[in-house]
Amino acid sequence: MKLYEIAELTQGAFANRLETLSTDTETTKVKPLSLKEFNETLGLAYRISNEKDVKITVPKEKLLPQLLTDTNSLVLHTHTQKIALLPEKYSGLLLTNNFIKIQLASVVDKAFLEWYFNEHPSIQKQLAFLSEGTVNSLLKLSHLKDLEIELPTIQQQFIIGKIAQLKKKKESLMTEKNELQQLYIQQKLIQSMKNN
């Protein structure tokens, strides 16, 4: 089956088109989802450390629920071609045009689809084909809708999704452990110099 058959897909908005300086309309301040937060969710490194914590002013009537992050949807980054199931702490963020929101039908486990999209060879092959010959592999909404998806039973999806989440958690803890070990060794080396 195709992805559009099991999900509603919404392209994020151009922040500069939504932002307003007008005082005539009722507005609200909203923070856009950043690649830093997206990568953190996936346990990926993010090199730019000085990313600004920016909020933009948007007319309330333009701030549709489809443009905001939540814990019931997946988010795709069109450049990295990765999907993330965002945690509660990142709910209510504005999806900019680099992101696509994927709201799934009830017959699909979100954790399963995150793993399936990011790691299954059949999806990776389709994505490689779609970005073949392009300078920057930007995934378009029209291409995404037509991805061929193979779904096991909901019970199998749930088991695979749970295992994938545990694997991701283990990798995150191992990374944290390695960082702490490096800090400890560094401190011991500095201390040994002071003791001489």
d(CA 51, CA 31): 13
Stretch 162-185: mean pLDDT: 89
What lies within 8 Å, CB to CB, of 187 at 6+ separation is none
**Lookup: tokens for 38:** 């997206």
Residue 135 — pLDDT band, cuts 50, 70, 90? low
pLDDT in tens, 62-99: 777 788 888 888 998 888 888 998 888 888 888 888 89
Q: In terms of C-beta density within 10 A (0-12 exposed, 13-18 middle, 19 or more buried), how is residue 69 classed?
A: buried
pLDDT in tens, 174-196: 888 998 999 999 999 888 888 76
Q: What backbone phi and psi angles, to 5 degrees, belong to 165?
A: -65, -40
- Write down the pLDDT at residue 52: 63
Residue among 139, 9, 111 nearest 67 (CA): 9
pTM over 0.95: no
Q: What backbone phi and psi angles, to 5 degrees, belong to 131?
A: -100, 5
